[in-house]
Amino acid sequence: MLTFFGNRGRHRRCDGLSRRSFLKAGALGLGGLTFADLLRAEHANAVGSSRRAIINIHLDGGPPQMDMIDPKPDAPRELRGEFGSIPTRIPGVHFTELLPKLAGIADQLVILRSLVGAADKHDAFQCMSGFDEKSLQSLGGRPALGCVIGKLLGSREDTAPAFVDLMQGRPLARDSARPGFLGPAYSAFRPDISHLFHRELEDGMKIELAKLGAKNHRTQLSLLEGLPVGRLDNRLELLRSLDQLPRALDATGDMAALDDFTRQAYGILTSGKVAAAMDLDKEDPKVVARFTPNLGDQSAASYTSEGPEAARKLLLARRLVEAGVRCVSVSISDFDTHSGNFPRMRLLAPIIDHALHALVTDLGERGMLDEVMVVAWGEFGRTPRVNAEGGRDHWPNVAMGIMAGGGMPVGQVIGSTDRIAAEVTSRPVHYQDVIATLYHHLGIDARATTITDPTGRPQYLVDVGQPIAELT
């Protein structure tokens, strides 16, 4: 059994640092070093030399399984809805008419029709960790997968953070990619993408975000204007000189470790790789166009739903992986279709259809598909019965997922549901099974690897999950 140590319960400031809080935003004018405390990374094992990566796509709001990848044409109309089904490249398997592009590459996909274990809460955390948000809450909560990856596979020599979180909307406001008991040193690196992709928050989410404040929700990508790299070098050298005596007196080794994190943050900042990856103007315009669907009139969209340009988030994710990021989380909103499910799905599903098709084909053409594992899923499914407002409500009994890449045996459907897509009838797959499969792709055995919580107790990365046998 491998054990990796997280924060041990010694007293710290609220920002997670015991002494060098002046490295936080603005204190030294080191805009790009505001995430120095995010880089508490260890080169834990030989897998660290691999460049395998994960793109974790959250379909914010809970996508309706029967209106996408599990159509039920023989169900009563008041249950099946108004969408027809179309054949895919997998013999005998149909999607709805909303996903023609994915139907055409279904032989490159894994279709999950039997996800179980949903917590019935609008929070991407379960898709980020496999756990309910209440798990180990008294200890700070479970860490998200990307944060654990940073803990286990990160290295101070990296010129890109291990985990970049691009989620917006509810997942951002609720800090769904949170580090839990690992502490803020393992928080996600969060560039502000609001200027590229608008996602209006619900009123309740605005209140939640205001209560949390900006902390841990945004990370700058560059030095403050007027601060040259040479001046940054001088300030880091001064910092090292000032720290010599206290560091010598520190028996825990924490201060020396913090120096390592600062050096890595410096390397990430001055390399410019992440900032360059986030700049779509540096991408071939033909590729950008490939990730930009032309879907016509969007007037029926909910005010919280994103437009066609949201597909470009997956292009950003690919560029970040190329820059060395191990895990990228993305969200596309808003599948919370309590009303107007069918007109809204006519707008939302084609965005997913176009975006995933573009990502999978692009990764394939670049020779990256075996190295990058992709998953797209939501926090739960939706009710078979259509309500009085033409919507589908929350349905935690079964959810859907789409996977690709990672060298998996693709072109298969895992699991099945009953005649109205309400209950799993074969091969249930737990959210933790998917998480364990993602870890497995990176060479991490989630059932044999532990990280230590603040009480000193080892915690396994999953407790009921295991890699999906059909995919490993």
Q: Mean pLDDT throughout 117-138? A: 95
What pairs with residue 179 in β-bridges?
Answer: none
The pLDDT assigned to 459 comes to 97
353-379 residue pLDDT tens: 999 999 999 999 999 999 999 999 999
Domain of residue 53 covers: 2-7+26-69+111-350+428-471
The DSSP line for 68-97 is TTS--TTS-HHHH-S--EEE-SSTT-EEET
Rounded CA gap, 205 and 192, in Å? 17
Give rounded-to-5 percent helix, strand, coil for the chain.
35, 15, 45
Q: Token pair for residue 150?
A: 């940073």
Q: Mean pLDDT throughout 328-338? A: 97
Q: Does 51 score more than 90 pLDDT?
A: no
What pairs with residue 330 in β-bridges?
Answer: 57
254-271 and 229-249 helices, crossing angle to 10°: 170
Q: Token pair for residue 350?
A: 């084609």
Q: Token pair for residue 329?
A: 């989380």
What pairs with residue 459 in β-bridges?
Answer: 451
Is 421 part of any domain?
A: no
Rounded CA gap, 115 and 127, in Å? 11
Q: What are phi and psi of 67, to 5 degrees?
A: -100, 5
258-291 residue pLDDT tens: 455 566 666 666 667 888 999 999 999 999 999 9
Q: Mean pLDDT throughout 380-400? A: 97
74-114 residue pLDDT tens: 999 889 899 999 999 999 999 999 999 999 999 999 999 99
Find, among 418, 350, 342, 340, the residue nearest to 82 by Cα.
342
Domain tally, the chain: 1
Tokens 């953070």 belong to 161
Is 50 part of any domain?
A: yes
133-191 residue pLDDT tens: 999 999 999 999 999 999 999 877 778 899 999 999 999 999 999 999 999 888 898 98
Q: Does 5 score more than 50 pLDDT?
A: no
Is 393 part of any domain?
A: no
The pLDDT assigned to 260 comes to 53
Is 275 part of any domain?
A: yes
Q: What is the DSSP letter of 219?
A: B
Residue 267 neighbours by CB under 8 Å, 6+ apart: 156, 157, 158, 159
Rounded CA gap, 56 and 20, in Å? 33
- Residue 249: pLDDT band (50, 70, 90) is very low
Q: Mean pLDDT throughout 322-344? A: 96
Is 131 part of any domain?
A: yes
Alpha helices in 18-134 (DSSP H): 77-80, 100-104, 125-129
Q: How much is the pTM? A: 0.84
pLDDT higher at 292 or 3: 292
- Considering the chain, what percentage of its residues have pLDDT values greater than 70? 77
Tally Cβ neighbours within 10 Å of residue 77: 8
Q: Token pair for residue 239?
A: 């910092």
Buried b (16+ CB within 10 A) or exposed e, 266-295: bbbbeeebbbebbeeeebeeebeebbbbeb
The pLDDT assigned to 382 comes to 98
The pLDDT assigned to 28 comes to 34
Is 422 part of any domain?
A: no
Rounded CA gap, 372 and 363, in Å? 8
Find, among 263, 291, 272, 53, the residue nearest to 153 by Cα.
53
28-37 residue pLDDT tens: 333 333 344 3
Is 205 part of any domain?
A: yes
Rounded CA gap, 432 and 332, in Å? 22
294-306 residue pLDDT tens: 988 887 789 999 9
pLDDT higher at 345 or 9: 345
Is 95 part of any domain?
A: no
